Amino acid sequence: MSEAGEPGDPGDSSILDCDDCMTPAEAFAVVGNETRLSILEALWRADERPVSFSDLRKAVGMRDSAQFNYHLDKLRGQFVRRTDEGYTFRHAGWAVIHAVQAGSLTEQPEIAPFEVEGDCSDCGGPLAARYEDERVVVDCVECARTHANYPFPPGGLDGRTTGEVMAAFNQRVRHLHCLMADGVCPECSGTVETTVERDPAGYDLDVAVRHECQRCRHQLTTSVGQVLLDHAEIVSFYRDHGVDLNQVPFWTLDWCTADEYTTVLSDDPWRLRLDVPIDGPEGTPAGECEGERLTLTVDEDLVVREVERSPAGTATTSP
């Protein structure tokens, strides 16, 4: 019997351990064939799945049944699953098609800067967005301060106006942060570790939150405000003022894009305070609680421990 932690200990085994798994090189060699990609694309285009052998061959346009079966057999197991009714995708097959449709493998579009909603939190200048290197970047036209810089697959540009692209970008970034904050990597679904750190290199932040996937090493570094953007207390606070926060572009919210509204109360352990003023991108909305401010205090795990509402201009004291 093996000791705990030694090779062979069932408790140490990964659920991904297998004897017949492909290496990455083998997997790319399988799909790096025009006929096999055509098979995957035919499956994707099918109105219903599973697809029978004959219908799949007809969709690909290959007359030689034996040759078609040879290529289909190469895909079976890792990329395509055979059922009693025909053939359908396995996750790896979907991943290949998603990469093709996202445009990441075949497209390198760029969009020149165009005006977007919001004003610079530093100088009050106008904001402009551009698309390059598969990222949407929002900068101040006058002082060049960056308000947003996140990946956005080229496929997301297809059929959309610039306004629609930015609306989609707003929602995509929100969901990326939600997944990472919940401990799920948006790239590989691996486990994400979240830490708070001072002065991260390459970011205009004094204190930041870093998410890192422990499987694929995908990283996302952002402000405390961005992590808490969709927190129920903040969403309700805005709703009480007649604003649907989900529709507000995150890059227009100073407390979200910078850390000037974040106060470090303690760094051992971490204890942070975020002040959220109600003056959104269109100015302070009318209402009974006009001018209020929401204050959230969070611990080292970014869990909200205290919530307080107070009139604008009221001093916030540290505990």
pLDDT of residue 168: 96
Nearest to 156 by CA among 146, 170, 174: 170
pLDDT higher for 210 or 99?
Answer: 210
Residues of the chain with CATH 1.10.10.10: 16-102
Measured CA angle at 285 (ends 150, 143), to 5 deg: 40
Of the candidates 114, 146, 116, 150, the one whose C-alpha atom is nearest the C-alpha of residue 133 is 150
Region of poorest pLDDT, from 6-10, 220-224, 301-305, 309-313: 6-10
Per-residue pLDDT tens for 264-286?
Answer: 999 999 999 999 998 544 444 34
Q: Does the global pTM surpass 0.85?
A: no
Asked if residues 207 and 272 have their Cβ atoms less than 8 Å apart, the reply is yes
Taking only the tens place, the pLDDT of each residue in 128-183 is: 999 998 899 999 999 999 999 999 988 888 889 999 999 999 999 999 999 999 99
Model confidence pLDDT, tens digit, residues 97-138: 777 766 555 567 889 999 999 999 899 999 999 999 889 999
Are the C-beta atoms of residues 286 and 306 closer than 8 Å to each other?
no
For residues 90 and 104, give the distance between their C-alpha atoms in angstroms, rounded to a whole number. Answer: 21
Q: Would you tell me how many other CB atoms lie within 10 Å of the CB of residue 193? A: 11
**C-beta separation of 30 from 73 below 8 A:** no
From the candidate CATH numbers 2.130.10.10, 3.40.50.1360, 1.10.10.10, 3.30.1360.180, the one assigned to the domain spanning 16-102 = 1.10.10.10
The CA-based dihedral angle spanning residues 242, 248, 250, 251, taken in that order and rounded to the nearest 10 degrees: -110
Task: Check residue 7 and give its pLDDT.
Answer: 39
How far is 205 from 139, CA to CA, in rounded Å? 16
Q: Is the pLDDT of residue 225 over 60?
A: yes
SS3 category, 275 = strand
Contacts of 274 (CB under 8 A, 6+ apart): 224, 225, 228, 255, 261, 262, 263, 295, 296, 297, 298
Give the pLDDT confidence score for residue 254 in this predicted structure.
93
Residue 288 confidence (pLDDT) above 60: no
pLDDT of residue 296: 98
Q: Report the alpha-carbon distance of residue 307 to residue 311 in Å, rounded.
A: 14
Q: Are strands 126-132 and 292-298 parallel, antiparallel or unpaired?
A: unpaired
Smallest CA-to-CA distance from 81 within 71, 92, 65 is with 92
222: its two tokens = 């952002």
